[in-house]
Structure 1
Amino acid sequence: MALFWRIFGLNAVVLGVATALLLWAPVTVSVPVALTEAVVLIGGLGVMLVANAVLLHVGLAPLERVTRRMATVDLLRPGQRVSVTGDGGVPDLVRAFNDMLDRLENERATSSARALSAQEGERRRIAQELHDEVGQSMTAVLLELKRAADRTQDPVLRTDLQHAQETTRASLDDVRRLAVRLRPGVLEDLGLISALTTLTTDLSIHTGLAVHRHFDADLPQLDQQTELVLYRVAQESLTNVARHAEATEVTVGLRRAGDVVRLLICDDGRGIGLAHEGAGIRGMRERSLLIGASLDLEAAPQGGVQVILSVPLSQSGG
């Protein structure tokens, strides 16, 4: 039944019942209206309005659920649907809304996959250029500075050249570290565990954080895309810890729990506003959708934040 006819029918029922009561009830209205008659009429009007309101509320309840869902739906948290039963105008509208969410989620996942694939390709290109061009140029400058420092007889100039060498060497290390962040070669060469170990070791060296690692030795074989998503989520989470958490220690775990591989990053910092997710966290959610994983952010027992990425083995090739 169309929404118009549904509302019309509800009102018709209420008015029909009221008319029947007026016709068959042994009640008359005098002129002028007596007080008791006015009370009966006003009471009947009130009952009619209440009945109409109740019936309309029941009839339009599915639309209210759709309105609430539209205000809270997030395509990065798939599966949010409005329950629907029956046939007709309102249930069909709810089904159309659910179908629209299905299409939007599929299109979002497809476009995110293309964007992230292009992003990884661009990262590889930039990392290669940093390594092959900038890195080699800075190495050549470093050698020239060393030769100049060895040839000069002026101790002051030699000291200045040696300082320039140290600055260039530090810059070269930064370039190499940036290239590794853009393109984790150790992930491709040695696997996920080695890549996470290197990532956490570098974090500890450069930030002073105490890092605790818990990696299962019998992890199943994961496909390349799943390993890359796990690595990028860990990388972004640890970057957030280093920049914003004001933490003293962080725990990184990678374990198997039944048919799920779970990545856990937990810190003892000041926490973050979980109600307002930034671009980094939403980027992690987009990556997790690529492999059918779920990403949860919760308050950690020791006061910080814990990031949990759960990857079903059926989606990861394990």
Structure 2
Amino acid sequence: MGNTTAQPARAPMPPPPHAAPVPIEPGPPPTPGTRTWLARLRPFLRVPLFYKILLANATIVALGAAAGTVVTASVWAAPAATFRLVAALGLAGILLSIAANAVILRIALSPLRELEEVASRVQAGELEARAPRSPVADRDLERLTATFNAMLESLSTYRRRLREMAARNLDAAEEERKRLARELHDDTAQTLAALLLRLRLARHTTDATARDRLLDEVREEIANALDRVRRFARGLRPPALDMLGLDAALEAHARSLQEASGLRIEVESTRIAGLLAPEAELALYRIVQEALANVLRHARARRARVRLARSGSDVIATVEDDGVGFDPARAFAEGGLGLFGMRERAAYIGGQVEIDSRPGQGTRITARIPIPENTAHAL
């Protein structure tokens, strides 16, 4: 295993560069007078949208009607009775306009009320609630309703996948316990029982040659049992990860997969010891492990490559293969829990997983794990 320079099946895409943040100059602080006016306006600004619009329209209509009445009376020099009649008609017009505005606004804003009601129902636990399509909604409100429902569907799908992944993890853990219990009972326990019998037999054997032969057999069986117990422990947690680091553990895992499956696996790594916390190293190890397992199960590949390196403030692990590829969107839609699990593992430690694949063009999985700030500054 180790560092290789074999020609890849296709040139890897370079990681996207980190865009430098654009500094934003803070604006001047509000003056005391501005803060006073904001404090006075805050009760009015907290009025519901319906009443804000209605009050604004009513104010405009009232000012227009009053100005029209005053201008009419002054230009025409109408008598007081005529002025009162015009004023009454203006007031009636104002009231009718306000009523019409109220009805129109109530109808026009009804889709927003429905969105609010659906959000409250979802918050109360009615997770399958969705906003209905309103016949009075304009194009913008229809787009808002569709986006709102799509967000709820995404959250529902996310929760369902979390439940499925949790159930699968529980099943896997239970199966692992059963397997260990079975192997310990049927293998290790039986071996130890047989060793006890042989030791008892050797104890009562008077022939020194026969006794030495029995003790040699017992010693050999103890060594075999110890190897099996160590193999059980390696299956639970790779010892190389704690003793040698992430890069050496990945090389050891790739070597064992290559020997067992015949798949050619190249590992290219730079030393990243001390950059990640132990839980982040374990999560990245499991992500690469799952990616290689997917290559063996689905890709029908002849070669795979694992690359591990530091890039800026991140540690990046890439797993590529020259297999049949797949459609990631379709795989997620069909419940690809392995892919979903990799992304969740990365998200738990603040990272992300990118999946680049197309049918017939192989697959590239990139895990990007951030280096803690104190570590990044120290190294």
TM class, shorter-chain normalised? 0.5 to 0.7
Partner residue of 1:237?
A: 291
In the aligned structure 1, how far is the partner of 2:272 from the partner of 2:252?
19
In the aligned structure 2, how far is the partner of 1:138 from the partner of 1:306?
46
Q: 1:54 to 1:10 in 2, by over 3 A?
A: farther
1:220-255 CA-to-partner distances (Å, cap 9, x unmatched) read: 421110011011111111111112111111000111
- Residue 216, structure 1, aligned to residue 298, structure 2: no
**Which residues of structure 2 form unaligned runs of 5+?**
1-47, 55-99, 106-134, 197-223
Q: Which amino acid aligns with 2:188?
A: Q
Q: Please, which of 275, 286, 309 is the counterpart of residue 367 of structure 2?
A: 309
Greater shift after overlay, 277-286 or 232-241? Answer: 277-286
- Residue 287, structure 1, aligned to residue 345, structure 2: yes
In the aligned structure 2, how far is the partner of 1:197 from the partner of 1:74?
39
Q: Please, which of 136, 139, 142 is the counterpart of residue 57 of structure 1?
A: 139
1:254-284 CA-to-partner distances (Å, cap 9, x unmatched) read: 1111011111111111113412232222221
Q: 1:226 to 1:178 in 2, by over 3 A?
A: same
Greater shift after overlay, 189-198 or 262-271? Answer: 189-198
| Percentage of matched positions with identical amino acids | 27
Q: 1:217 to 1:190 in 2, by over 3 A?
A: closer
Partner residue of 2:13?
A: none
Instruction: Classify the secondary structure of the residue corresponding to 2:289.
Output: helix
The structure having more radius of gyration, on CA atoms, is 2
- 1:1-318 alignment runs, 5 A limit: 1=48, 9=101, 12=104, 56-73=138-155, 136-137=188-189, 177=231, 179-218=233-272, 220-274=274-328, 275-277=330-332, 278-299=336-357, 303-314=361-372, 318=376
Instruction: Classify the secondary structure of the residue corresponding to 1:307.
Output: strand
In the aligned structure 2, how far is the partner of 1:175 from the partner of 1:244?
31
In the aligned structure 2, how far is the partner of 1:3 from the partner of 1:139?
81
* Offset of residue 289 of structure 1: 1.4
* Offset of residue 313 of structure 1: 1.1
In the aligned structure 1, how far is the partner of 2:315 from the partner of 2:239?
23
For the Cα contact (< 8 Å) 1:270–1:303, is it kept in 2? Answer: yes
For the Cα contact (< 8 Å) 2:246–2:273, is it kept in 1? Answer: no
Q: 1:72 to 1:179 in 2, by over 3 A?
A: same
Instruction: Classify the secondary structure of the residue corresponding to 1:303.
Output: coil
For the Cα contact (< 8 Å) 2:275–2:371, is it kept in 1? Answer: no
In the aligned structure 2, how far is the partner of 1:253 from the partner of 1:230?
12
**Which residues of structure 1 form unaligned runs of 5+?**
14-52, 77-103, 145-168
Matched pairs, number: 225
* Offset of residue 219 of structure 1: 5.1
Q: TM-score, normalised by structure 1?
A: 0.54
* Offset of residue 71 of structure 1: 3.4
